[in-house]
Amino acid sequence: MAPVVDYSLYLVTDSTAAILGQRDLGYVVSEAILGGVTLVQYRDKTIDSGAAIEVAKKLLSICNEHGVPLLINDRIDVALAIDCAGVHIGQDDMDVVTARKLLGPNKIIGVTASSVEEADKAVRGGADYLGIGTIFATPTKANTKSILGVHGLRDILAHLSEQSETHHHIPTVCIGGINASNLQRVLYQSFTPSKPLDGLAIVSAIVAAPDVRESSRQLRRLIRTPPPWALLPIPTEHSEWSKTASTQALLDSIPLAIRTVTEKKPISHNMTNFVVQNFAANVALSTGASPIMSTNGHEAPDLAALAGGLVINMGTATPTSLENWILAVTAYNAAGAPVILDPVGCGATAPRRATLRDLLAAGYYDVIKGNESEILTVARVSGVAGIEAIQQHGVDSGASGLDLDGKAEVVRRLAGRERNVVVMTGVVDVVSDGVRTYAVSGGHEYLGMITGSGCSLGTVLAAFLAGNRGTGDKLAAAVAGIALFGVAAKRAGGREEVRGPGTFVPAFLDELFLARKDIVAGDEVWKKMVD
């Protein structure tokens, strides 16, 4: 039997000038171990055997001193020569069965897997652990075969959890572009209750760090702490918390959620399209929030520190929009402040689909809000299985083919996959956190005849999630924002002086202001809207 190993923070070395620079590899490895690295792999794709054995011997003595196992990438001969803990082999290296014959049963053999097929094959061949990658594109390894994203990682983990005992128990790490800014999200979004990741394999975020020990320490701390935006134990179908949170409690929390926004006046930071800026800012004010319309991503760290919420609206994307959005989502994620993604028209053109893909890879979105076709596009890009089957099921129910049950199913599955809250807007809005799913009615047909109504719901959601961060229930905060929006539209549309979309706009702003006051004062009209 190979020894039991702590895979949690796995350093893979790199001796190139671009990553190691002029530093001594032995020094970097010892600093990394002092910072908390639990396992080391010596990886050098170009060195000659003699020199490799010299370096490996030196690393082995450093690792032995600290009781940390050393593996060698690819080079079975080097591992045998120095008698270290084992090897890591890729798909283009020696196969695992032959490697096992050479190394015997007591050495660790790790195998790279980029698909469920490769994972199955490695498990059957007797691998001791799997290195799943490439998660994110990385300059460290230019010739990577497939970029899996967190979704691809999750698919492989889910597959393993459904297979034999051996599959189920094999330790897994992931690799490729993992660093301090994304590791918590990778752990959070890839989390599969019956098959959590055992560790993260990292090259440049350790080896190329200015202070190797401090960076390792920081990575280790981040691995052990829930991400700042995970307010409560993550809702899963298995958690007690989600079973006990009742609809009644959620409904009862709506007036308080609305009042809290009024009292706190949270910032609603809009990176939104120019068509709706003015209207969205007015909606924010009428809702009780403070709007900031800024598309400059460099401002985001300062704004995120003000405990507001951000909405990224893909409406009028320019070539520089994406980099600003990525700066902003990174800053808000780091601060634990909520981010709403409004993927306007994301399925319309190839550039928009590419942008959506990049945004999903770049950060965590507490809420994704869109209309039916937008949410279907996000679900497809996110790799939610079975979307076509759900759509076919509901063919007779409108243009895009989803009846209410079908919508609820798509929204629930997407939220479960992204581990966030998803809102699908329509005549009835459907909202879910992957466990609890609600339909919220209300609204008015004039909402569909003015510009910016959908976009300004994103504005409201940013304010409601920011204002209600203290409660830890993002779904309840989202439902409260949607309910206020719907009540205000309904009341506005019913006003005597409102004769069409033009007169509806000012009435709607009035009613956001007035309905908010009435609900806080005890008006319970919203109660009939949530189901």
- Interface contacts to ligand 3NM, rule CB under 6 A: 12, 112, 131, 133-134, 138, 140-141, 144, 175-178, 202-205
User: Residue 413 Cβ, how far from ligand 3NM at the closest point, in Å?
Assistant: 27
To the query of whether residue 346 is one of the catalytic residues in this protein, the response is no
Judged by CB, which is closer to Mg ion: 87, or 219?
A: 87
Q: Which two tokens stand for residue 78?
A: 């080097």
Q: Do you know the residue count of the chain?
A: 531
Q: What CA–CA distance (Å, rounded) separates 16 from 177?
A: 17
Q: Which does 235 bind (CB under 5 to 8 A by kind): ligand 3NM, Mg ion, none?
A: none
Classify burial at 67, counting beta carbons within 10 Å of its beta carbon; exposed 0-12, middle 13-18, buried 19 or more.
Answer: exposed
Measure the CA–CA gap between 175 and 463, rounded to whole angstroms. 36
Place of tokens 């990176």: 271
Please say which residue, 207 or 457, places its beta carbon nearer to ligand 3NM. 207
SS3 content of the chain, % helix, strand, coil (to 5): 50, 15, 35
Q: How far apart are CA 277 and CA 504, in angstroms?
A: 18
* Footprint of Mg ion on 60-79 (CB under 5 A): 74
- Checking phi first, is residue 136 left (phi over 0); if not, alpha (psi -120 to 50) or beta? beta
Q: How far is the CB of 178 from ligand 3NM (least distance, A)?
A: 5
The binder of 468, among ligand 3NM, Mg ion, none, by C-beta within 5 to 8 A per type, is: none
* CA distance linking residue 423 with residue 419, whole number of Å: 13
Work out the angle at residue 365's Cα, subtended by the Cα atoms of residues 423 and 156, and round it to the nearest 5 degrees.
100
List 63, 84, 174, 455, catalytic entry: 455
Strands 437-440 and 429-432: antiparallel
Distance CA 133, CA 144 (A): 9
**Residues between 370 and 389 with contacts to Mg ion, criterion CB under 5 A:** none
Task: Decide if 196 contacts 17 (C-beta within 8 A).
Answer: no
At residue 414's C-alpha, the angle toward residues 412 and 418, to 5°, is 120
CB of 93 or CB of 403, closer to Mg ion = 93
Nearest residue to ligand 3NM, scored by beta-carbon proximity: 133
Tally DSSP H helices, then E strands, for the chain. Answer: 23, 16
Q: Which CB atom, from 138 or from 270, has the smaller least distance to ligand 3NM?
A: 138
Rounded CA separation 73/89 (Å): 6
Q: How many residues sit close enough to Mg ion to count as binding (CB under 5 A)?
A: 3
Alpha helices in 321-473 (DSSP H): 321-335, 350-362, 372-381, 387-393, 404-418, 453-467
- 203 contact, one of Mg ion, ligand 3NM, none, CB 5-8 Å limit per kind: ligand 3NM
Strand order in 367-371's β-sheet? 290-293, 267-271, 309-313, 339-342, 367-371, 421-425, 429-432, 437-440
**Residue 93 contact, options ligand 3NM, Mg ion, none, Cβ 5-8 Å cut-off depending on partner type:** Mg ion
**Residue partners of 317: CB distance under 8 A and separation at least 6:** 351, 352, 355
Q: Among residues 90, 126, 171, 301, which is the contact residue for Mg ion, using CB under 5 A?
A: 90
Residue 74 binding result from Mg ion, ligand 3NM, none, given CB thresholds of 5 to 8 Å by partner type: Mg ion
Residue 202 contact, options Mg ion, ligand 3NM, none, Cβ 5-8 Å cut-off depending on partner type: ligand 3NM
Touching Mg ion, residues 283-342 (CB under 5 A): none
Q: Give the nearest distance from C-beta 209 to ligand 3NM in angstroms.
A: 11
Nearer to ligand 3NM, 143 or 244 (CB): 143
Q: At its nearest, how many Å lie between ligand 3NM and the CB of residue 16?
A: 11
Give the one entry of Mg ion, ligand 3NM, none that residue 134 binds, where binding means its C-beta sits below a cut-off of 5 to 8 angstroms depending on kind: ligand 3NM
The least CB distance from residue 133 to Mg ion, in Å, is 12
Using the rule CB under 5 A, give the single segment among 83-91, 204-212, 223-231, 374-382 that binds Mg ion: 83-91
From the list 93, 95, 198, 518, which residue makes contact with Mg ion (rule: CB under 5 A)? 93
Instruction: Choose between 71 and 202: whose C-beta lies nearer to ligand 3NM.
Output: 202
Quick check: 463 and 450 in contact, CB under 8 A? no
Least distance to ligand 3NM, CB of residue 92, Å: 10
Q: Given the complex with Mg ion, which of 44 and 74 has the nearer CB atom?
A: 74
Name the nearest CA neighbour of 206 among 41, 4, 6: 41
To Mg ion, the closest distance from the beta carbon of 131 in angstroms equals: 10
Q: Give the CB-nearest residue to Mg ion.
A: 90
Question: Between 41 and 273, whose beta carbon lies closer to Mg ion?
Answer: 41
Shortest approach of ligand 3NM to residue 15 CB, angstroms? 12
**Out of ligand 3NM, Mg ion, none, which partner does residue 144 contact, by CB within 5 to 8 A per kind?**
ligand 3NM
Q: How far is the CB of 88 from ligand 3NM (least distance, A)?
A: 9
512 with 484: CB under 8 angstroms?
yes
Q: Indicate the residue among 144 and 172 with the shorter CB distance to ligand 3NM.
A: 144
Measured in whole angstroms, the distance separating CA 136 from the mean position of its chain's CA atoms is 13
Instruction: State the residues that interact with Mg ion by CB under 5 A.
Output: 74, 90, 93
Residues assigned a catalytic role: 455
